[in-house]
């Protein structure tokens, strides 16, 4: 019999309307979610851990790091075959990717949740949870790292993002596609994801900020963040990794202070590359000391930078390692 640990953290899947009906909030336990499963899980034993009961918009990096630590500890037990995490969709991709970066086992780590709260008559939570448990228990899912199971699809932690505010098929993997799907009780893996090396850290560096660039925006926020103690900066820049010209000198100021600056793209697909000059192109940003993020999104690059800083790497070492970690 497969043994799965279910970490319940809250989110829409665990939310119901408040007494006055004005809003929904997380209040349903993991045990209650398990009891609402509509599909029998033959041959699978599920042990519930009540980790938290919050909306995922309230989860911060230290709490997500604590979750990853608990996941790794649970999977050290040879009698446990995998982990499922119920989580709010707002920041699910971030907790999932952090768990992926910090994984210490080949056993599956599967995140899931819902877009319709537990009180909705057609909530998508029970089916998503049942599917996630089946995937976590499947030998086919071993070695795939952390993943998100949602609306009968399986997505790799590195690639997946929330694409729609309310639709039940919100999770997609732009540029890469899902890695598999669930058809009834059948698990199908269509492709293998790219897997970064796992990391071991005793804490997470949460003083890393992410800023999205817009036409003609000012770089003053970079200096302000550095002055307030930020240890690293991630920029979601234009196209291949370009920025308004004033950002060149701002990046140079930060890198001279030893603060790494990672440059991603606002685009959902494609790689950053130092192609353009002209005073604000990617080539100029790299000359100023920035590191191009490859295909990583801004939120994922922030997590990887947080982990590398927690490992004790300085700006120079991060620049050297990034190409092999995030291309």
Catalytic residues: 12, 89
What is the number of alpha carbons within 13 Å of residue 287 lying toward its C-beta?
Answer: 16
DSSP for 111-167, please give it. EE--SS-TTSTT-SHHHHHHHHHHHHH-GGGTTS-EEEEETTEEEETTT-EE--SS-
Helix (H) or strand (E) holding 100, with range, is helix 92-101
What is the token pair recorded at 118? 């537990």
181 marked as binding residue: no
295 marked as binding residue: no
First to last CA, the chain: 39
53 marked as binding residue: no
What is the token pair recorded at 169? 């098929």
Query: How far, in whole angstroms, is CA 70 from its chain's centroid?
Result: 17
- Give the DSSP letter of residue 294: T
Strands 153-156 and 161-162: unpaired
Provide the annotated binding site for substrate: 56, 89-90
């Amino acid at each position: 019999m497969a043994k799965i640990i279910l970490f319940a953290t809250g989110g829409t899947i665990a939310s119901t309307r408040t007494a006055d009906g004005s809003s929904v909030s997380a209040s349903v336990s993991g045990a209650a979610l398990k009891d609402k499963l509509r599909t029998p899980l033959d041959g699978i034993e599920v042990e519930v851990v009540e980790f938290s009961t919050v909306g995922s918009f309230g989860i911060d990096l230290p709490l997500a790091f604590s979750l990853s630590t608990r996941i790794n500890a649970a999977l050290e037990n040879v009698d446990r075959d995998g982990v499922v995490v119920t989580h709010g969709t707002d920041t699910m991709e971030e907790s999932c990717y952090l768990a992926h970066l910090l994984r210490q086992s080949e056993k599956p780590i599967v995140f899931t949740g819902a877009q319709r709260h537990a009180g909705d008559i057609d909530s998508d939570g029970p089916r998503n949870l049942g599917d996630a448990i089946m995937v976590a228990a499947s030998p086919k899912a071993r070695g795939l790292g952390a993943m998100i199971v949602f609306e009968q699809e399986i997505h790799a932690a590195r690639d997946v993002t929330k694409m729609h505010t309310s639709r039940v098929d919100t999770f997609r993997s732009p540029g890469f596609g899902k890695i598999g799907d669930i058809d009834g009780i059948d698990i199908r893996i269509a492709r293998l994801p790219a897997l970064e090396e796992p990391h071991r850290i005793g804490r997470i560096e949460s003083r890393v900020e992410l800023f999205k660039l817009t036409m003609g925006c000012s770089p003053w926020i970079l200096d302000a963040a550095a002055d307030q103690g930020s240890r690293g900066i991630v920029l979601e820049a234009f196209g291949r990794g370009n920025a308004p010209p004033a950002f060149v000198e701002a990046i140079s100021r930060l890198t001279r202070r030893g603060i790494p600056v990672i440059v991603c793209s606002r685009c959902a697909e494609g790689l950053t590359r130092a192609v353009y000059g002209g005073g604000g192109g990617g080539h100029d940003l790299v000359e100023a000391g920035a590191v191009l993020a490859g295909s990583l999104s801004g939120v994922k690059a922030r997590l990887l930078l947080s982990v590398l800083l927690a490992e004790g790497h300085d700006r120079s070492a991060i620049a050297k390692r990034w190409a092999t970690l995030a291309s």
